[in-house]
Amino acid sequence: MMATMSEFDDAIATTGPDDSGAYVGVLTHEWGIGEAVNGGLLMALSARATGDASQRAGGHADTLSFSGIFLSPSSPGPVRARPTILRTGRSMSTAQVVVTQPVDGVDVERFRALLTLGDLGRYDEAPRKTVAPPTIPPLAECMSAKDAPPSLSQSGLLQRLDLRLDPATIGWAVGAPSGKGELRGWMRLQDDRAPDALSLLLALDAFPPVVFDLGSQGWAPTIEFTGYVRARPAPGWLQVRTHTDHVAGGLFNEDCTVWDSTGALVAQSRQLGAARFPAT
């Protein structure tokens, strides 16, 4: 094993592939949120393993699209990612990955995902159309997650990430959600490891649930998540916007867009989540 250079690289490192084609890593409370481990970290870990398996099969390494369904919350301990390369083409490869954890000696599936892989260098050109980032106040005027109540700020995830939220979108933290269903802010890894295609998968799922801005509280589990990596990000802070269009029957979509420090759109995602709202 090579020595790695950041907390994030350490967290998504795996051994493998073993004879069954599986990659094995270890999840820790360091990236925990509540009792679970952040889903974005698992997506990055499994995308990295799948990219390795794809390259070994003559395919591509960079995740272009990642579509996963979440079957059970992951917890600290060993984790196994088993990629299957479905096709290696000229410009893209396709794969599936199944992620499990042993529970009482039985492999329990946490999630599975379908991936399209390619070479992000191919897409590194001026866009024909794009969307500029929203105006987010300067870092010094944003609220750090470190100012959150201890129940949140002491979670491992919020100690690994440096999140700075636009004050206009955090009324919910003091019981006054805006009702707009939108969050905006800055993000980087706490140790300032530069963003890349893998850490973008983490960034797409690292903000608080957007339904907090509509008065929802507590855990908002992801049911389905699809992320697209559109370009390699430049070094520096990421700019992030999440919003929801439709919240009904306890389900909501959360769309996330990530721009790099130059203002280039680098990643997009949509997820379907489940939310609880206090009785009114």
- Phi/psi of residue 118, nearest 5 degrees: -160, -160
Distance CA 236, CA 216 (A): 32
Collapsing DSSP to helix, strand or coil, 247 comes out as strand
Q: Name the minimum Å distance from CB 233 to a copy of itself.
A: 14
Q: Name the minimum Å distance from CB 120 to a copy of itself.
A: 9
Q: Decide whether 186 or 225 has the Cβ nearer to a copy of itself.
A: 225
Q: Name the minimum Å distance from CB 242 to a copy of itself.
A: 13
Q: Name the minimum Å distance from CB 26 to a copy of itself.
A: 25
Sorted by sequence, the CB contacts under 8 Å of residue 15 that are 6+ apart come out as: 1, 23, 24, 25
Mark residue 6 as left, alpha or beta (left: phi above 0; alpha: psi -120 to 50; beta: remaining): beta
Distance CA 229, CA 62 (A): 9
Pair of tokens at residue 43: 């997506």
Distance CA 76, CA 121 (A): 35
Q: Decide whether 56 or 87 has the Cβ nearer to a copy of itself.
A: 87
Q: Name the minimum Å distance from CB 153 to a copy of itself.
A: 28
Sorted by sequence, the CB contacts under 8 Å of residue 262 that are 6+ apart come out as: 234, 236
Q: Are 157 and 32 in contact (CB under 8 A)?
A: yes
Q: Name the minimum Å distance from CB 81 to a copy of itself.
A: 16
Q: Decide whether 219 or 228 has the Cβ nearer to a copy of itself.
A: 228
Q: Decide whether 11 or 265 has the Cβ nearer to a copy of itself.
A: 265
Give me the residues paired with residue 27 across strands.
77
Q: Decide whether 192 or 277 has the Cβ nearer to a copy of itself.
A: 277
Q: What is the DSSP letter of 89?
A: -
Q: Decide whether 191 or 245 has the Cβ nearer to a copy of itself.
A: 245
According to the 3-state scheme, what is the secondary structure of 191-232?
Answer: CCCCCCHHHHHHHCCCCCCHHHHHCCCCCCCEEEEEEEECCC
Q: Decide whether 101 or 268 has the Cβ nearer to a copy of itself.
A: 268
Q: Name the minimum Å distance from CB 277 to a copy of itself.
A: 7
Q: Name the minimum Å distance from CB 146 to a copy of itself.
A: 29
Binding site for a copy of itself (CB under 8 A): 64-65, 67-69, 71, 86-87, 92, 94, 96, 109, 112-116, 122-131, 179, 181, 214, 223-224, 226, 228, 230-231, 244-253, 257, 265, 268, 270, 272, 277
For tokens 């990219």, name the residue. 51
Q: Decide whether 65 or 155 has the Cβ nearer to a copy of itself.
A: 65
